[in-house]
Structure 1
Amino acid sequence: MDDIVRQALAKWPNVPSCTGWLMLDRRGNWRMRDEAAQASGSPGTAIRHDALLGFINRNYGADERGQWYFQNGPQRVYVELGYTPWVVRLSVDASGALVLQDQAGGVFEPAEVFVDEEGGIVFRDTQTPARIAVLHDHDLDIFSEHAALADDSLSGEFHWNNGTGLSLQPVRRADVAARFGFVSSPAALA
């Protein structure tokens, strides 16, 4: 968390939080959702300002209920999640090693891999507490080049670096939030 945010929290500790105004979409884009976007259920306008994106990413976290938020100075802005709290991109570096990177630019080291009924890939990382991330759909080809799927398309093995094989486990998309302890729509709890 930025020092300026800590200072604002100390100066104004009781600023009410808000919900519905910020979304992390299925592809890792931060989106502003004005009243019209919220009313229509649209994802809103993608944020493109690099400094603002960096500020959001540095001040992004979860509360004790599994609700993800952006701490905007003294105000907590709860985030609507398009799927998971993190979105990762998969690439191959110059040495041929696979690299997973989250929407904030951080390294993501997978511990488990899940496949939902729509073909979405969900990773749990090695951190404590674990982060849960969906794979950006543009990277499914790279994923499939390093995975051996069983006939059911919901199990098999993902071949990670150094010969590490991670079992592919089935998961229902509707169960992901509850299974991994996060809230997709904090507005629903407000």
Structure 2
Amino acid sequence: MREASPELPTWPTVPACYGWLSLDARGRWRLKGERVEHGGLCAFLNANYASDEEGNWLVHNGPQRVFVALETAPLVLRLLPDDVLLTHDGRHAQPTPPVLIDENGCVSLQTDLGPAAIDDRDLALLLAELTHEDGRSVDDAALLKLVQGQSAV
């Protein structure tokens, strides 16, 4: 997990910023609800995105802390060939069991970088690859139990 940089100065005259920046379920940045399209701004947000000691996710804008509203999870993952998981900000993530699926079909899991959700465009691919911890394939009945909170894979 990337943590907020301790060497940045804290200036009491620079207020924290809330309600401006959000991350949607597909890992796209939004500023006041509008999708951020500028490549340079997206790169800046990705490079300065971190969690603080209290588990809040934010972007450092110089000494200012811009807290991020999360639609699903702090990290949004894409599934690449060979079972590689890539975060919305371009880092490789290593998953740890269990995988959780909610009643809306959102897949969440813990990674070495922090809590994450799978981008919905990759759900079919992920579900086809899911196995139990002992390596057995996950069938439809097991998926239904997972969604109902009766088991985990």
Q: Structure 1 length normalisation: TM-score?
A: 0.65
Structure 1, gaps ≥5 residues long: 34-43, 157-167, 171-190
User: Equivalents in 1 of 2:75, 2:141: separation in Å?
Assistant: 29
Please state if 1:63 is matched with 2:41.
no
Q: Which structure has greater helix proportion?
A: 1
For residue 111 of structure 1, the aligned residue among 96, 105, 114 is 96
Residues 6, 122 of structure 1: alpha-carbon distance in 2 compared, 3 angstrom cutoff: closer
Aligned-partner SS, 2:93? coil
User: Equivalents in 2 of 1:18, 1:149: separation in Å?
Assistant: 45
User: Equivalents in 1 of 2:93, 2:25: separation in Å?
Assistant: 17
Q: Structure 2 length normalisation: TM-score?
A: 0.79
Q: List structure 1 segments (4+ residues) > 6 angstroms apart after TM superposition.
A: none
1:1-190 residue pairs with structure 2 within 5 A? 9-10=8-9, 13-14=11-12, 15-33=14-32, 44-92=33-81, 97-112=82-97, 113-125=99-111, 127=112, 131-147=114-130, 148-151=138-141, 153-155=144-146, 169=152
User: Equivalents in 2 of 1:70, 1:62: separation in Å?
Assistant: 8
Q: CA deviation at 1:23?
A: 0.2
Give the aligned residue type for 1:29. Answer: R
Structure 2, gaps ≥5 residues long: 131-137
User: Equivalents in 1 of 2:101, 2:119: separation in Å?
Assistant: 13
Residues 3-41 of structure 1 deviation map (CA, whole Å, 9 limit, x = unaligned):
xx988x43x6221101000000111000001xxxxxxxx
Aligned-partner SS, 1:151? helix
Residues 50, 154 of structure 1: alpha-carbon distance in 2 compared, 3 angstrom cutoff: farther
User: Equivalents in 1 of 2:52, 2:6: separation in Å?
Assistant: 16
Number of aligned pairs? 137
How large is the RMSD of aligned CA atoms in angstroms? 2.4
Q: CA deviation at 1:169?
A: 2.0
8 Å contact 1:149–1:155 — kept in the other structure? no
User: Equivalents in 1 of 2:152, 2:86: separation in Å?
Assistant: 21
Q: CA deviation at 1:115?
A: 1.4
